[in-house]
DNA sequence: TTCCAGGTGGCAT
DNA sequence: ATGCCACATGGA
């Protein structure tokens, strides 16, 4: 079963799935992406058309799933054309205008909270290819088969219960390093106390940066402005901040990008990685 | 070999 | 409240 929708603008699957917000979508040889989210496996392909807007094809999806799952997940309700107009001249250097051109098809996905929590705990002091590998191995080890697509079995992430029942030795093959303890600890806390929605920093392994990522990617709080090494790099090179002046960067982001800080951050993150020759997260 | 990656917890001031 | 530093792992 396949669902198609036309006239989609400000949309590019490479930009969306390779801007560091998610770690589980696999690019196929034909340029499409296969992934599992909300317990469903789908394959997405996008055909560009600058005049009318492109057409998005989602395989293994019907109209109901599209409306209930993928339309919100892909943030198709939000007018990114208008949003980009607001951001384009927000800074005085023209940096944001260039970053927007470079990542014009980025959208902030509405991801599952639990998934963003464990994904970004794993992300600390780690690189994107390794993060993807860890999450993949973790899902195969303790997740459930979500189904099969194109001859390949896809696994869901482990539930909090499954992860809480694991121990360090069980997780050894996932090669999480010192983060394994954080994951188990966090899973136990979720199982015992229910999901803490405020003060995510109470979870082991969640500091200001990870919390900010969860706010942005898991709760769609577009004002959140996560500051990691790449953003520090942008702020330093393109806006003239000292590398360690995180407070200054945060204040600047708030003043300059306001409640769209998170979207601005994604344009900047994707842009600086491109400038440094990092593509396809490899 | 050393450095680095979507940083944080623990400890000393 | 702020400043260090160890921390697992694998690729450059």
pLDDT tens sequence across A25-61 = 999 999 999 999 888 999 999 999 888 899 999 999 9
Q: Which nucleotides of B are covered by protein (CB under 7 A)?
A: 4-9
- Comparing every residue's Cα with the C1' atom of nucleotide C12, the nearest one is A282
Nucleotides of C under 7 A from a protein CB: 7-11
Q: Which nt sits closest to A247, CA to C1'?
A: C2
Paired tokens of A4? 């198609």
Indicate yes or no: strand C within 7 A of the C-beta of A248.
no
What is the DSSP annotation of A18-52?
A: TSSS-S--EE-TTS-EEEEETTEEEEEEEE--TTT
User: Does this model's pTM top 0.75?
Assistant: yes
- From the CA of A182 to the C1' of B10: give the distance in Å: 14
- Pick the range with the lowest mean pLDDT from A44-48, A177-181, A262-266, A278-282: A278-282
Give A86 CA → C4 C1' in Å.
41
Pairing verdict, β A145-149 and A54-59: unpaired
pLDDT tens, A215-270? Answer: 999 999 999 999 999 999 999 999 999 999 999 999 999 999 999 999 999 999 99
Q: Report residue A281's pLDDT band, with 50, 70 and 90 as the boundaries.
A: very low
Say what the pLDDT of residue A282 is: 37
């Amino acid at each position: 079963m396949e669902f198609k929708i036309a006239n989609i603008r400000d949309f590019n699957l490479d930009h969306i799935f390779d801007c560091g917000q998610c770690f589980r979508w696999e690019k196929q040889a034909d340029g499409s992406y296969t992934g599992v989210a909300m317990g469903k496996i789908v394959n997405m392909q996008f055909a560009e058309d600058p005049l009318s807007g492109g057409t998005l094809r989602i395989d293994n999806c019907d109209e109901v799933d599209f409306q209930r799952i993928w339309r919100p997940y892909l943030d198709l309700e939000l007018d990114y054309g208008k949003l980009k107009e607001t951001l384009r001249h927000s800074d005085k250097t023209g940096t944001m205008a260039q970053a927007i051109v470079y990542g014009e098809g980025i959208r902030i996905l509405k991801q599952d909270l639990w998934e963003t929590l464990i994904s970004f705990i794993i992300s600390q002091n780690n690189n994107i290819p390794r993060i993807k590998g860890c999450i993949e191995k973790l899902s195969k080890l303790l997740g459930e088969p979500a189904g099969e697509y194109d001859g390949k079995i896809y696994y869901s992430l482990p539930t909090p219960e499954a992860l809480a029942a694991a121990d360090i030795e069980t997780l050894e093959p996932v090669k999480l390093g010192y983060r394994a303890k954080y994951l188990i600890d966090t899973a136990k806390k979720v199982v015992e106390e229910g999901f803490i929605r405020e003060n995510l920093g109470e979870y082991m392994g969640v500091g200001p940066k990870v919390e900010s990522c969860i706010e942005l990617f898991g709760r769609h709080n577009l004002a959140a402005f996560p500051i990691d090494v790449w953003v520090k790099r942008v702020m330093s090179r393109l806006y003239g901040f000292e590398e360690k002046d995180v407070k200054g960067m945060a204040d600047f982001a708030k003043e300059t990008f306001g409640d769209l800080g998170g979207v601005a951050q994604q344009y900047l993150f994707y842009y600086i990685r491109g400038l440094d020759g990092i593509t396809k997260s490899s």
